[in-house]
Amino acid sequence: MTRTLLIVAHGSRSRAWNDAIAAFAGDVRAANAEEREFDAIAHAFMEFGSPSIPEAIETECERCEELVVQPLFLSISQHVTEDIPAEVEKAAERVGGSGGVALFVRKNARVILLPPPPAAPLLADNAAWRLGPRFTPADGFGVVLVLYGSSQYGEAWDELARETLARLALTYPDAPMTWVYAGDVAGFSPDPVARAIDDMAHRAERVAVVPGLVARGVIQTEVIAAAVERAHARERVVNLDDAILPDPALARAFLDAAEKRA
């Protein structure tokens, strides 16, 4: 049976953001070449990018017998629970599912829509990998993890933040850590991030600002940048000014999650 993995991301008006997703698909493709879990790797965008989810399903279902769709999202949201299933249903007929997995068919192909993989282990490993070149466990620094956040799914985001920092603390057990939201739940204001930086400066010699965001975009370039400038402790800030992607290890983990759950 021929199988394709379709990576679904949100999409952005920023070409650089969408290019990062395409590059991630390339990393997943390279990881897949080692053991060939899937016959092909493709990607699609929920909005602001091409191909769209329905377009990708139409194309890929002409080439395979089973299409596994896995969202590249950090936490539960309306996009995951409602918008992406609705986009899949534009190109395929829903026939069932359980346990967070939805089943569809299109012509002679089966379409399996998975929930996002467990994000906290991936995010914690990724943050440690990004911090590693700049800090050692004995460096006396604190971590401010900047997340997008959600007012509707706040509890799920809080749980993601707590679990991520608990796992990151295994690598940096002496580093104080906190999280702050910078997306629409915070009105894209730099003030919450600036306050989190100054609060952490009372607990640590240096403050590492770690964006827990899929790709580099407006939050890094505008919100976090402005927050660092506003913070009283800005001279003690190390702003990673990057994103979760690119990370080849994350690509391998994303691929493994799809293989195990499909």
- 141 confidence band (pLDDT: 50, 70, 90): very high
- 139 confidence band (pLDDT: 50, 70, 90): confident
Largest separation between any pair of C-alpha atoms in the chain: 61
Q: What is the mean pLDDT of residues 173-185?
A: 95
Q: What is the mean pLDDT of residues 15-38?
A: 92
- 34 confidence band (pLDDT: 50, 70, 90): confident
The domain at 119-239 falls in which architecture? 3-Layer(aba) Sandwich (3.40)
Phi, psi at 3, each rounded to 5°: -130, 140
Mean pLDDT computed over every residue of the chain: 93
In this predicted structure, what is the pLDDT of residue 62?
93
Q: Which two tokens stand for residue 128?
A: 């440690």
Question: Is residue 72's pLDDT more than 80?
Answer: yes
In this predicted structure, what is the pLDDT of residue 261?
79
| CATH placement of domain 3-116 | 3.40.50.1400
Q: What is the mean pLDDT of residues 222-242?
A: 97
- pTM as predicted: 0.89
In Å, how far from its chain's centre is CA 115?
13
d(C-alpha 18, C-alpha 21), whole Å: 5
Give the domain ranges of the chain. Answer: 3-116, 119-239
Question: Is residue 51's pLDDT more than 90?
Answer: yes
d(C-alpha 256, C-alpha 113), whole Å: 15
- 98 confidence band (pLDDT: 50, 70, 90): confident
Question: Is residue 89's pLDDT more than 90?
Answer: yes
- 138 confidence band (pLDDT: 50, 70, 90): confident
> Percentage of the chain with pLDDT > 70?
100
Question: Is residue 82's pLDDT more than 90?
Answer: no
d(C-alpha 221, C-alpha 219), whole Å: 6
In this predicted structure, what is the pLDDT of residue 36?
85
In this predicted structure, what is the pLDDT of residue 28?
95
State the CB neighbour count (10 A cutoff) for residue 198: 19
**What secondary structure, in 3-state letters, does the chain show?**
CCEEEEEEECCCCCHHHHHHHHHHHHHHHHHHHHHCCCCEEEEEECCCCCCEHHHHHHHHCCCCCEEEEEECCCCCCHHHHHHHHHHHHCCCEEEEEECCEEEEEECCEEEEECCCCCHHHHHHHHHHHHHCCCCCCCCCEEEEEEECCCCCCHHHHHHHHHHHHHHHCCCCCCCCEEEEECCHHHCCCCHHHHHHHHHHHCCCCEEEEEECCCCCCHHHHHHHHHHHHHCCCHHHEEECCCCCCCCHHHHHHHHHHHHHHC
d(C-alpha 208, C-alpha 204), whole Å: 10
